[in-house]
């Protein structure tokens, strides 16, 4: 979950601009949290309090309407109708990471991932994106290696994970759908040598940078056993106190339900 927030902040200046290569500036003056962080924190809160994900996600929008929210998401937040709008956007995957840390049972992780997705992203691809991301994090934190994760996610969700980073550099274009983001985020993670390298891969393919880095970071955190302290500190410096409190409270709670 922290990995998603760190990825979001690092990717934020590059959402609407391109980088030349992986050697970009990690934290800039204008690096900031975006909707990915806000919704991830709301998922964590929902897990802990049992509040409705739909209402929490709306709350996040109402608190910070100036963020670069998806157009349809904004419309949904402003509508009296709470029913989902069949989205297949990558938002279902960028906000799901806390689910993978909260439960110690694969079936529960997948079921809850579906619940977080279907309040807005009830399109099959939207649900699939959330489930695939949550399962990848869960497998990684339970000690699975890269090949196991690649095989399992490729098999269960039908994503093409056999492309190289070079192929992504040459062929990938900005894409906000689940099916055009999650496989690529997974490839950026699978090809990485450490947490920072994973984030650099995700930004360097020049897509929806903050969300790609959030998803990649959320999985990388689990495989590499955390986020390097230097990056964590830079990210925490950029969060308001109530966000830090929510993050800490969730990390304590999640640690409480984790197997020893
Ligand atoms: Mg964003």
Q: Which tens digits make up the pLDDT trace of 172-213? A: 999 999 999 999 999 999 999 999 999 999 999 999 999 999
| 217, two tokens | 């970071």
Q: According to the model, what pLDDT value does residue 223 have?
A: 96
Ligand 1 centroid to residue 211 C-alpha, Å: 6
pLDDT of residue 104: 93
User: Does the domain spanning 2-18+31-254 belong to CATH 3.90.1150.10?
Assistant: no
Gyration radius of the chain over CA positions: 16
Question: Measured in angstroms, how far is the CA atom of residue 144 from the centroid of ligand 1?
Answer: 29
Centre of ligand 1 from the C-alpha of residue 69, in Å: 7
CA of residue 64 to ligand 1 center, whole Å? 12
Q: How far is the CA of 207 from the centre of ligand 1 (A)?
A: 12
Residue 254's pLDDT band (boundaries 50, 70, 90)? confident
Environment class of residue 230 by beta-carbon count within 10 Å: exposed (0-12), middle (13-18) or buried (19+)?
Answer: exposed
pLDDT (average), residues 149-156: 98
Q: Which residues pair with 177 in a beta bridge?
A: 89
CA of 12 to the centre of ligand 1 (A): 7
Ligand 1 centre and the CA of 11: distance in Å? 9
- DSSP readout, 31-53? ----HHHHHHHHHHHHHHH---H
Alpha helices (H) along the chain = 2-11, 35-49, 53-63, 71-78, 91-94, 97-102, 106-118, 124-141, 146-157, 165-171, 182-190, 195-204, 209-223, 229-237, 241-257
Q: How far is the CA of 172 from the centre of ligand 1 (A)?
A: 19
- Mean pLDDT of the chain, nearest integer: 96
Span from the CA of 100 to the centroid of ligand 1 (angstroms): 20
CA of 216 to the centre of ligand 1 (A): 14
- Residue 42 has phi, psi (to 5 degrees) of -70, -35
What's residue 258's pLDDT? 45
Lowest mean pLDDT among 22-36, 56-70, 246-260: 246-260
**Is the per-residue pLDDT at 220 higher than 90?**
yes
The pLDDT value given to residue 257: 54
pLDDT at 259: 45
């Amino acid at each position: 979950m922290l990995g998603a927030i760190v990825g979001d902040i690092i990717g934020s200046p590059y959402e609407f601009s391109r980088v030349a290569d992986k050697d970009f500036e990690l934290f800039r003056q204008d690096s900031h949290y975006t909707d990915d962080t806000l919704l991830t924190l709301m998922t964590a809160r929902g897990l802990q309090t049992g509040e409705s994900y739909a209402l929490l996600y709306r709350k996040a929008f109402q608190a910070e309407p100036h963020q670069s929210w998806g157009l349809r998401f904004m419309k949904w937040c402003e509508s009296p109708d709470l029913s989902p709008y069949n989205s297949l956007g990558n938002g279902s995957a960028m906000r799901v990471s806390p689910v993978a840390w909260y439960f110690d049972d694969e079936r529960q992780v997948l079921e809850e991932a579906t619940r977080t997705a279907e309040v807005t992203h009830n399109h099959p691809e939207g649900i699939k994106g959330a489930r695939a991301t949550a399962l990848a994090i869960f497998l990684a934190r339970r000690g699975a290696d890269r090949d196991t994760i690649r095989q399992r996610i490729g098999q269960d969700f039908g994503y093409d994970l056999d492309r190289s980073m070079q192929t992504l550099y040459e062929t990938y274009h900005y894409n906000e759908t689940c099916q055009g983001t999650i496989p690529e985020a997974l490839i950026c993670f699978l090809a990485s040598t450490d947490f920072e390298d994973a984030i650099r891969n995700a930004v360097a393919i020049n897509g929806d940078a903050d969300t790609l880095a959030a998803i990649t970071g959320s999985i990388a955190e689990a495989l590499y056993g955390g986020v390097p302290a230097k990056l964590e500190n830079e990210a925490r410096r950029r969060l308001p106190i109530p966000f830090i409190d929510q993050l800490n409270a969730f990390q304590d709670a999640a640690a409480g339900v984790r197997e020893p």
